[in-house]
Amino acid sequence: MLIRSFQMSSFCHPKSANYNLNNSISSPSILKKCGKQTLNNVPGRRVCFDLFNNLKLLLINYDSNNKDDLIEYNNLICDIRDLATEINDNELIKLLKDARNCVNILNENLTLFVKVILILKWMNRSDEVVKEYRLFLLNVCTAYSYHTQFAIEQLVACFSHVDSAACDRVNGMPSQEEERGFLNVHVTLEALLKAIPLAKDLLISALKKKFPYKTNSTYSHLHYIHNLLCIVEYEPSLRKNILSLIINKLVEIDVHISKDELDRLESNINIDVEDIFPMDVDDGACIKVGPEKVEEEHFSDTLDICLKRIFNYMKTICHTPNGSLLWDTTKSLYHDLLSIFENEILPTYNSSHI
């Protein structure tokens, strides 16, 4: 049962509630609360609440065929989801510990509960929150393998995170705080792969699924590729697959840049601004930049900054800190890249940047 105290007076429940009792729902994000007005619909309301008392008892007694149990369970999922941003570190630690104490009963019937815990924002929280989240994830995945795919997808989804408030990036690389969060994810992922070696196949699938779409921000692409290359450091057996995925996605971006536009963007001699950004003037005398040119400029920037990160990776792994060439490593990387070139780049029509 959830116990809350509100800073504002209580509000009236609507006369008719939208009951969603479909126990086949697979995502907490689309679940709707039953019988109560959701907190998200109350502007400006800040909630102070005690955490979920008797959580294990509620989960043990949950019967998906019982309407009252299903309502209470669905409301529990919605409350954890909706109040996630309101929970301070101490409250979140208690919730994660309580959830970890329930691991032995978190079977497939309680998949939504597992998912709503795994989608909590944790990577840049306190060290204690990170520790408890990691323990819950590892415990639930090693106890029930069918939770592993979703857990890995949530970890991988963190790799494209871009903090809009960050102001200390250098050449687009993650800020210090962003890097701290990414490191927390990598430590968790590495521990999971050691505990469940067969999860590597799930990881590759997740990396493909969560790769940023080509129109996503340049920083999102750079951070994602940066983190994929970090995975290679502790899972070198995945290097060829990861490099192949990166090149494949960059080639997809490359073919959307026209050769003429690419030539203009690469040359900065005797080119007017109007040549780079053709503008049209509508009847209302409003100047508009051609959207296709803006998109191609974005694609070009994304390719440039991502390729630079890949080149830095190659230089780093092929040389010692004092600059000496590591011949065996270089030869191994060469063979991987040659295979990737033959499979990803050579068959591609109209690829000109890569």
Q: What element of type H or E holds 266?
A: helix 259-266
Sign of the CA dihedral running 28, 89, 191, 211? positive
Specify the pTM: 0.81
- Classify residue 48 by burial, with Cβ atoms within 10 Å: 0-12, 13-18, 19+: exposed
Q: Are 296 and 257 in contact (CB under 8 A)?
A: yes
Angle (deg, nearest 10), helices 239-254 and 218-234:
160
Here the tokens at position 310 are 């890949």
Looking up tokens 């296709």, which residue turns up? 292
- pLDDT average per 10 residues of sequence, the chain (354 residues): 36 38 59 56 45 76 83 88 85 92 92 94 95 97 96 97 84 90 98 96 97 94 97 97 96 80 57 49 54 80 93 95 94 96 85 66
Sign of the CA dihedral running 47, 158, 31, 70? negative
How wide is the angle at C-alpha 184 spanned by C-alphas 182 and 186, nearest 5°?
A: 70
Rounded (to 5) percent helix, strand, coil in the chain: 60, 5, 35
Please give the single-letter amino acid code of residue 293: K
- pLDDT of the residue at 158: 97
End-to-end Cα spacing for the chain: 57
- pLDDT of the residue at 280: 53
- pLDDT of the residue at 328: 96
Report the distance separating Cα 235 and Cα 32, nearest Å. 40
pLDDT in tens, 63-110: 778 888 888 888 889 888 888 778 889 989 999 999 999 999 999 989
- pLDDT of the residue at 269: 41
Enumerate residues 6+ apart whose C-beta is below 8 A from 248.
344
